Structure 1
């Protein structure tokens, strides 16, 4: 059985190779280790191997990991990458470095309200359903520009970019990643501060190389690091 540290080393080498193919620097791609359903001990093992960015999808599990003794005092950067309902926003505001799964303006409004109450600024991404599958969360690609316009006006939150979960087929996935990149480019043309719109959170264990080729700045890897759930 492969260890978390050896899996991380293998993933980092694959990232480096994909960056070479894309003519990009490895510094342009942030690896988020998706630790949902994994133990705090597994997160600690990844931390000991040099990993600093972690992703969680379930609010209760995320809150439990924040209190885990194995992780006490460690300066981890947590990303909340799961679908976030408005009624759960208050529980995680101020606890995640970035929130990836905002797919409704109303949820962004709740995030803004709670951030304002705490006197903080919160970074978030809009989730886009580039595969147009009915079973997936995310804004329809055609509605992203309007949703972003409404989000730009909200206080105490900063729209930093877009996120997607692509189709299983690598060819389709690459097309969808390209569409997300093009959508972000359109957003920048109308944004009050285009320099904030830098992030494309796309690519997972099975398709992160295609995502890097299409401009991903954040890739979310779980299985390839921690093994099957």
Structure 2
């Protein structure tokens, strides 16, 4: 893991330098889905303090104790969020990267008010307009961002996307950056293990990297 973190940090620094940015402009989110709390502790020992989880249920088991031990860590939700998990998500996460529909925005707004807690929000944009993927369509993004800010009062800081598999990611990163710029949003959550260096070149301020840090994930067979 130490080697993986070092390689990722070096590549972020190199990609930043190529486009006149500094590596401090890029937040490395270690995507720790399926990895246990001891693995997270090992990463913290390597001075990694920002982590991403895909599922509320997994985070509920893993993170309360970790947050008690390491209160300066940041926890980001980087996977889809069900509306009925809004209460738990607001309580657990420092940032939510998958805001993509009005019902969820309304539920998050209510929970932020009830809990007096305001995670940073990223609107997820379905840049490839894929039917099976979460995210607001690009043509609807401006209106949705405005509603999240003005109607629901959410702390929207930026946008997130996941480019279609098998397609060059550049056009999707460029599209996301343009939508963010015209809406006055400074944060871009884009880039994963296979394309984070490219994302940095297109302005990513948050990259979500898992396997390049932790190695391949183990998924138990169905039914176990």
TM-score (norm 2): 0.92
Structure 2 unaligned runs (5+)? 218-224
Q: What are the equivalent positions in structure 2 for 1:1-229 lying under 5 Å apart?
A: 4-68=1-65, 72-75=68-71, 76-154=73-151, 157-169=154-166, 172-188=168-184, 197-229=185-217
Find the aligned partners of 2:38 and 2:84 in 1 and give their Cα distance.
Answer: 29
**Alignment check: 8 A CA contact 1:164 1:202 kept:** yes
- Where 2:122 maps in the other structure, the secondary structure is strand
CA RMSD of aligned residues (A): 1.4
- Displacement of 1:156: 5.4
- Displacement of 1:91: 1.1
Find the aligned partners of 1:60 and 1:122 in 2 and give their Cα distance.
Answer: 18
Find the aligned partners of 1:87 and 1:121 in 2 and give their Cα distance.
Answer: 18
- The verdict on how the C-alpha distance between 1:156 and 1:147 changes in structure 2, with shifts beyond 3 A counting, is closer
**1:9-50 superposed Cα distances (whole Å, 9 cap, x missing partner):** 111001111111111111110000000111111111110001
**Alignment check: 8 A CA contact 1:126 1:162 kept:** yes
**Alignment check: 8 A CA contact 1:40 1:71 kept:** no
Find the aligned partners of 2:80 and 2:165 in 1 and give their Cα distance.
Answer: 19
- The verdict on how the C-alpha distance between 1:169 and 1:21 changes in structure 2, with shifts beyond 3 A counting, is farther
Find the aligned partners of 2:67 and 2:120 in 1 and give their Cα distance.
Answer: 23
TM-score (norm 1): 0.90
Find the aligned partners of 2:153 and 2:140 in 1 and give their Cα distance.
Answer: 23
- Where 1:153 maps in the other structure, the secondary structure is helix
**Alignment check: 8 A CA contact 1:57 1:81 kept:** yes
Q: Hey, which bits of structure 1, 4+ residues long, moved more than 3 A?
A: none
Find the aligned partners of 1:42 and 1:122 in 2 and give their Cα distance.
Answer: 25
Structure 1 unaligned runs (5+)? 189-196
Aligned pair count?
A: 216
**1:125-183 superposed Cα distances (whole Å, 9 cap, x missing partner):** 1000112222211111000001011111245521111000012346x201100000000
Find the aligned partners of 2:153 and 2:123 in 1 and give their Cα distance.
Answer: 16
